[in-house]
Structure 1
Amino acid sequence: MSELPSISVSVKAAIVHDGKILLLSYDDSDDGGCFHYNLPGGKAIEGEPLREAVVRKVLQETGLTVRTVREMFVVEYVPGRFGKNLGPQHKTQHNFLAEITDGRTEPRFSDPRDPDQVGFEWVPLAELTGRTLIPQVAPAILDGLAANRDVLVDHAQVRWDR
C-alpha cells in the first residue's frame, strides 16, 4: 500500500465591504517573483476546522475580526502538473466569503511582518479582474460571490452516528 500524500491546506478570506474587496499586496521580485495581490489567509493547523482557521489567519494577518459566511470555491495545486511553479508541495486553498464583525475596516501588518508584503488595498469589485492575484482566482471570486451557496459541508451539518 502506498503512503498517504502530504497535502498543505490553506484558507483565504474574501472580505467584501461597501462594494470593495480587501487585497494584500506583495513584491517578491527579489526572489524571482513579481508584484501581486493575495486574499488574506494562510495555512490551517492540523485539527483546526477551516472556518476557525479563516478567522485566526485574518486576525493574524490584518488585525481585522471576521466571521465566515460560506466557502465559495477550492483551488488545488498539484506540483507535477504545473511545473512546480509554486513549489513542490501538493496544496489546497479553501476560499471563504467573510464579513467584518466589529465595524473596523483599517487593516494593520502582522507582527512579525511578512518581508514581501508591501500593503493593503480595498479594491472595487469591478476592478478585481484587472489585478494580478496569485493564484489567479479573480473570476472564481466573482463567480463565488454571485453563486450565494456554501460548498463546505462541515461537522455542524451532518450526523456522524448510526
Structure 2
Amino acid sequence: MTQLPKISVSVKAAIVHNGEILLLSYDDSDDGGDFHYNLPGGKAVEGESLRDAVVRKVLQETGLNVRTVRELFVVEYVPGQYGFDLGPQHKTQHNFLAEITDGNTEPRMSDPIDPMQVGFEWVPLADLPGKHLLPKVNQPLLDSLANPRDILVDRW
C-alpha cells in the first residue's frame, strides 16, 4: 500500500474593512529574502476545522476577533514542481474572507513577536495589485473577493 503524503495545511484571512484589506508586513532581508506582505494566518492543527483555525490564527497574530465568511481559493505548493524553492514540505493554503466581529480594527503584534514581522497595513483594495504579497496571489485574491460563492463544502 502506498503511504499517504504528509501535507502541511495552513489558513489565511482576507480581512476586508471599509474597502481596505489587512496585510502583515515582513522584512526577511537578513535571511536572504526581502520586504513583502502576507495575509494573517498560519497552520491548522489536527482535529481543528479550517474555519476555526482562521479565527484562532487571526486572534494570535493580530488580536482581532473575526468570523469566516467563505473560502476564497486554495494555493498548493508541490516541492518537486517548484524546484524545492520553499523546502521539501508539500503545502496547501486555504484563503478565507473574514470579517471583524467586535468593531476593533487596530491590530497588535503577535505574542511571541515574529522577528521578521515589521508591522501591519490596511491597504486599499485598489492598491493590492502593486503590493509584494507572498504567495503571489494578488489577482486571484481580488477575483475571489468579487465572486460571492463559498467553495468550501465542510459538511460530509
Superposition TM-score, scaled by structure 1 size: 0.95
Give the whole-Å Cα distance in 1 for the aligned partners of 2:30 and 2:67: 35
Kindly report which structure 2 residues correspond to 1:56-67, keeping only aligned pairs within 5 A, or say none.
56-67=56-67
Secondary structure of the 2:21 match is strand
SS at structure 1 position matched to 2:15? strand
Residue segments in structure 2 that go unaligned for 5+ positions in a row? none
Question: Once the 2 structures are TM-superposed, how far is the Cα of residue 32 of structure 1 from its aligned partner?
Answer: 1.0
SS in 2 for 1:150: coil
Offset of 1:130 from its aligned partner? 0.1
The DSSP-based 3-state class of the residue aligned with 2:104 is: coil
Q: Distance in 2 between matches of 1:44 and 1:52?
A: 9
User: Can you list the C-alpha shifts for 1:37-69, whole angstroms capped at 9, x where unaligned?
Assistant: 000000000110000000000000000000000
Moved over 2 A (4+): none
CA distance in 2 between counterparts of 1:86 and 1:122 reads 27
Partner of 1:140: 140
Listed as ranges, the matches of 1:62-77 within 5 Å are 62-77=62-77
Structure 1 unaligned residues grouped into runs of 5+? none
CA distance in 2, matches of 1:31, 1:61: 21
The DSSP-based 3-state class of the residue aligned with 2:154 is: coil
Matches within 5 A, 1:103-118: 103-118=103-118
* Root mean square deviation, CA, Å: 0.6
Q: TM-score scaled by structure 2?
A: 0.99
Structure 2 partner of 1:54: 54
Q: Deviations over 1:79-119 (max 9, x none)?
A: 10001111110000000000000000000001100000000
Q: Which residue of 1 aligns with 2:14?
A: 14
- Correspondence for 2:82: 82
Tell me the equivalent position of 1:39.
39
Partner SS state of residue 129, structure 2: helix
Q: Distance in 2 between matches of 1:86 and 1:102?
A: 36
Matched residues, percent identical? Answer: 78
**Aligned-partner residue type, residue 108 of structure 1:** R
